[in-house]
């Protein structure tokens, strides 16, 4: 499964990309607002840090303006993926951008039939929001499994990008359900490395090693 960071914080992105485990980045208007910097500048900087797909979201609600914004965002760097909301206008714009060869990430997906329409519109990625669905009393990971089954039924190559991830269980559930990618907030990504038995085991190994008086280097 590809791991994306859900962030517009270039300091955090640079730090975590150094692990070699980050395949791409997703942003949204709220994350750009949080960065407190001009959007085009932030996206360009992120594209210089991570080689993989970098999602940049339009803010228009009508297809015509979405197309203009999308083309402008796609012009920032070859690895920009234009993020469009799952609305009728968003999917209309998606179909056109896909025809032009621009990769689109359709976001704010909360149902399997929405995901089916996004695949028909030629989306490169579909972003089901699993945390927000759970908040709503629904089954976020279950939606990933449903979309996987539907896409496999028809051979759609739209990649399932699990979004709105709140914890390690969401990452595990998305992987088990067959998501192609998960976009993870930096704070959650940092927790994925951790297990108390890893720390305990390492302490024991290193304390036994210290008693030998040896050094490898
Ligand atoms: O980028 C979209 C998505 O990951 C948002 O997550 O936590 O605001 O529901 P959240």
Report the nearest atom of ligand 1 relative to the CA of 30: 8
Residue 16: pLDDT band (50, 70, 90) is very high
CA of 71 to the centre of ligand 1 (A): 24
Q: Is the pTM of this model over 0.95?
A: yes
217 domain-assigned: no
The dihedral sign for the CA sequence 92, 95, 96, 102: positive
189 domain-assigned: yes
Determine the longest span between alpha carbons in the chain, in angstroms.
71
Half-sphere exposure of 111 (CA within 13 A, CB side): 5
Instruction: Tell me how far apart the alpha carbons of residues 55 and 25 are, in angstroms, rounded to a whole number.
Output: 6
Q: What's the full length of the chain, in residues?
A: 217
110 lines ligand 1 (CB under 6 A): no
Please state, for a pLDDT cut of 70, what percent of the chain lies above it. Answer: 100
Report the nearest atom of ligand 1 relative to the CA of 135: 9
CA of 101 to the centre of ligand 1 (A): 26
Report the nearest atom of ligand 1 relative to the CA of 127: 2
Instruction: Tell me how far apart the alpha carbons of residues 217 and 208 are, in angstroms, rounded to a whole number.
Output: 17
For residue range 134-190, list pLDDT tens digits in order: 999 999 999 999 999 999 999 999 999 999 999 999 999 999 999 999 999 999 999
Which amino acid residue places its CA nearest to atom 7 of ligand 1? 164
Could you list the residue range(s) of the whole structural domain that residue 145 is in?
Answer: 2-210
What DSSP element (H or E) covers 20?
A: none
Catalytic position from the list 83, 194, 200, 211: 83
Residue 23: pLDDT band (50, 70, 90) is very high
* Cβ atoms of 126 and 159 closer than 8 Å: yes
Q: Is 194 a catalytic residue?
A: no
The pick from 132, 136, 182, 184 for probing ligand 1's pocket by mutation, whose C-beta has the most ligand atoms within 8 angstroms, reads 132
The dihedral sign for the CA sequence 10, 128, 106, 32: negative
- If one counts the domains in the chain, the total is 1
For residue range 120-146, list pLDDT tens digits in order: 999 999 999 999 999 999 999 999 999
Helices within the chain (DSSP H only): 10-17, 29-35, 39-49, 63-74, 88-99, 112-120, 130-135, 140-154, 168-176, 186-191, 196-212
Which amino acid residue places its CA nearest to atom 5 of ligand 1? 164
175 domain-assigned: yes
* Cβ atoms of 95 and 87 closer than 8 Å: no
51 domain-assigned: yes
**Confidence at residue 132, expressed as pLDDT on a 0 to 100 scale:** 98
Which amino acid residue places its CA nearest to atom 10 of ligand 1? 164
Question: The domain that contains 59 carries what CATH number?
Answer: 3.20.20.70
């Amino acid at each position: 499964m590809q791991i994306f960071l859900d962030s517009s914080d270039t300091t955090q992105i640079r730090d975590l990309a150094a692990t070699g485990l980050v395949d791409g980045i997703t942003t949204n208007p709220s994350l750009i607002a949080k960065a407190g910097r001009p959007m085009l500048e932030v996206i360009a900087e992120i594209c210089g840090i991570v080689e993989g797909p970098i999602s940049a979201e339009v803010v228009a609600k009508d297809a015509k303006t979405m197309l203009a914004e999308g083309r402008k965002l796609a012009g920032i760097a070859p690895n920009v993926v234009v993020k469009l909301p799952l609305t009728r206008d968003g999917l209309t714009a998606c179909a056109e951008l896909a025809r032009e060869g621009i990769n689109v990430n359709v976001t704010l997906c909360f149902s399997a039939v929405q995901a089916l329409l996004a695949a028909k519109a030629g989306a490169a990625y579909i972003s089901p929001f699993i945390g927000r669905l759970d908040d709503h009393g629904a089954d976020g990971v279950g939606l990933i499994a449903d979309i996987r089954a539907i896409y496999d039924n028809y051979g759609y190559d739209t990649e399932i990008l699990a979004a709105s991830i709140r914890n390690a269980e969401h990452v595990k559930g998305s992987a088990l359900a067959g998501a192609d990618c998960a976009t993870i907030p930096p704070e959650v990504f940092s927790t994925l490395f951790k297990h108390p038995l890893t720390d305990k085991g390492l302490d024991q190994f290193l304390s036994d090693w210290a008693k030998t008086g040896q050094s490898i280097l």
